[in-house]
Structure 1
Amino acid sequence: MEAFRIYPMEAFSIYPSRYQTTMASADLKDELTCSICLNLYNDPITLQCGHNYCRECIEDVLDTQNGSAAYTCPQCRAEFPERPVLQRNTTLRNIAGHVLSQKGQEECEVFCTYCVHTPVVASKTCLLCEASLCDLHLTAHSKSPEHVLIQPTKSFSNRRCPHHKKVLTYYCTEDAECLCVSCCLGDKHRGHKVEVINEAYKQKKENLKTIQDNFIKESEEIEKRVQSLQNYLRQIPGKTAGIVERVRVQFRDIRMKVDNLENHVLNEISKQQEQVSLSVSDLIQQLESKKDNLSREICYIEDLCQMSDPLLYLQADRRDFTDVIEDGDQNLKETVAADLGEDLIFKTLTSGMMDIMSGLQKGYYVQEASGILLDVNTASNDVHISDDLKTASWSEVNQGRPENLERFEYYRVLSIKGFSNVRLYWDVEGSKEGAWRVGMTYPSIERNGECSHIGANNKSWGLRSLKNLYSVKYDGNEFPLSQTSSYKVRIYLDYTSGLLSFYELGNPMRHLYTYNTTFTKPLYPVIAVSNKAWVKVLN
């Protein structure tokens, strides 16, 4: 090996600034050391007496002085009647941070082994010599292949084979071990795939980069999902407030209708009371009149009975009282008082309550949409529409429909009817094979290009079924949901509240996703089918 040359000290005169800086940093470190923890200041603060400490250190000291007559400085014993207010020393904090970072940099640097008088940063390390060299010493270093040069390092033990003490230059892909030449010839790795370390390093790095890219992509998707959920979380209070307000309106309406029904029933009771009272009063009057007649007849009969002369008794003008008795029996039967119509009252009450409940269902619960028919004029020529306008199927045969501005280029079809200011739902059934998507859209959606896809724009909202998985998409952002257990889906629209929800019609029905936004135009049901898929409107 070629001997190293001895260079005069003048050759290193270009490096004094680093040495001087190192010495200056060492002196400055003493001034930046906390007297309590004996480390560089961490978030330094200054007391009123002028001494500096780490915030955590001085707070611990002051905590021990709680309850004493006064607080004191640990260095000068200056007393403070109240606990000192800790003021951050920003300048000292910045200087301490700079020195700490410079110290870390110096600890990471590798210096030339042969520059013994002045520390000089090494540019390479020789594994054979186990020495680090600066640019000047590197020029005189041997160029033979045995002298393997690598990036500067302080560790040499892990660069050599522990068994053969030779430089590790190969990598066994099967055992994931770094090898020397002798290891490659040994029995343990014979027949294994062995690569040069640099090549294995490049391959590993490329694979790791691919994994990193996948992790980044997954992280971005998670971030999008988190943002979407956070947006939904922020919308929940508004959504809840809307539901609460609708429920309050319904209860106010119910109370008003119940009060009206109560008044109506009470009025009916009062009316029946008045009618029955008048009827009973008339009967009482009739009976009182009959009673007076009977009293007169009784007096007449008593006068007759008091006559003792038979002749005079028989000559008296007497009437036949049989008719009077029969008339009296008939009048008693006809004077039965009418009763209050309690059955009729409760029938009126029950009927009124049923009307209230029926009105509640019509006013609050969602109604099934009717009359959803697919618009052939919007259907692309790769979509077949059934005769009843309820089913859209992907077709390999061009349907040959004439071109118009409303027709989609690929896969899609709109309904004939749109909806606004309503609360309703519509159901569909899709195929197990292929890919299909259902949702709602503004009629101004593009008819061709990427922007015409459901959910690829801010004009449409869609749910997709593909390979037994559900996902939702809006404005180009698609989020996976869950596996498909039923191929029947319900699309629920509350236009006024800005809610569009998707449900899976399994047993039980399962909520999949809800969009909360503000709708500004009528919404049309939209269907997309591809790869032998079909979708049927069930409503």
Structure 2
Amino acid sequence: MHHFEEELTCSICYSLFTDPRVLPCSHTFCRNCLEGVLDLSGNFSIWRPLRILLKCPNCRSVVEIPDSGTESLPINFALKSIIEKYRQEDHSDVATCSEHYRQPLNVYCLLDKKMVCGHCLTIGKHNGHPIDDLYSAYIKEKQSSGKILEQLTDKHWVDVYLLIEKLKEQKSQCESVVQDDKKVVVLYFKKLSDTLEHKKQALLSALDEINRQVLEEYDPLIENLKKMREEQLELMSLNTSIQKEESPLVFLEKVDGVYQRIKALKEKQLPDVKPVEIYPRVGHLLKDVWSKTEIGQINKILTPKIKLIPKRKLQSKSKEKERGKSKELLQAVNPLTVMLLFVIVAIALFAFPKLVSSFGIETVPTYISEFLLSIYQGFCAHLQTIADALCRKFNLLSLPLILNRAGAWG
């Protein structure tokens, strides 16, 4: 607070003088502040005394107030005029209270450690708080600043330093682990990428190879047929031109040559075009094998050898082929041989079950199992045939005996 402003401040309310009145001791105070001091001193009662005594808040001397009260005290017009001019001037550089309009912050509240105005102390929220002027508070706090240094250099800050170092060390360890894991990730995916790239190139090479085989298979045939087609068109053009020939001799000679060429052209054997297919299909391989393989096992997948094979229905034709083999075997075997083989197989099944089971059902081809079943069925059929033959033979032998007995009875 500026020194000039201090001279305009009441020492009771710490605010700019309002209606300043002069005591007999020459000290000036706000009229309202003097009224408050009188109320606190207890001089006013039911019976008003003839003299009103007041102890000056500044010099502590006892002065006499006229019986009419503070209203009769002289007004300090000079000070009042100065205050009015001061209030009219711009004092933007002077800190003022945010709660009380244009009241300067001229008192230091020791409880809240902040500057306040006089109204804050008398009618505001700082009423009754211990106070001091700014300069005195500054001197006292500066003298006790050594305590601040002690608080900033005690063991607590050593613990803070050690904790910072510990956190830095842990952070460094975690960052090192992260960096190591990053390297592992990069190396892993580089290896995986190299493996996939190698497999990709191997599959593409296999497809390029089969494509080369396709070209070798079809290009010569297509070229030969194209030449035949070109020769056909040439003969058609030649025939058109011959038809315009007017000389009989020349016409006959040329026509005969055309006939000979047509005959030779038609006698050329056309290629036997057999439908083929590419097997195995890479798309099926990727879908059925690669997509179901663990990443770490991809490098173990072998690149298939892709071939051109005759187009066929794999399932139906293979089953028909197996059935054909079983029928051929069955037809080629003598019935007695069938019975003997069936007996041998039956003895093997009952005598050596463990040996038979060790081979596994999966290792026996389908046509073999069907063949064995056919043997069994044939054996049963042959037994039935033998039984029927024996029955017929028995009936033929016993028929004369039966007739003789019937004649004797007759």
Q: Could you tell me the TM-score, scaled by structure 2's length?
A: 0.25
Bigger strand share: 1
Bigger helix share: 2
The structure whose Rg is larger is 2
Q: Could you tell me the TM-score, scaled by structure 1's length?
A: 0.20
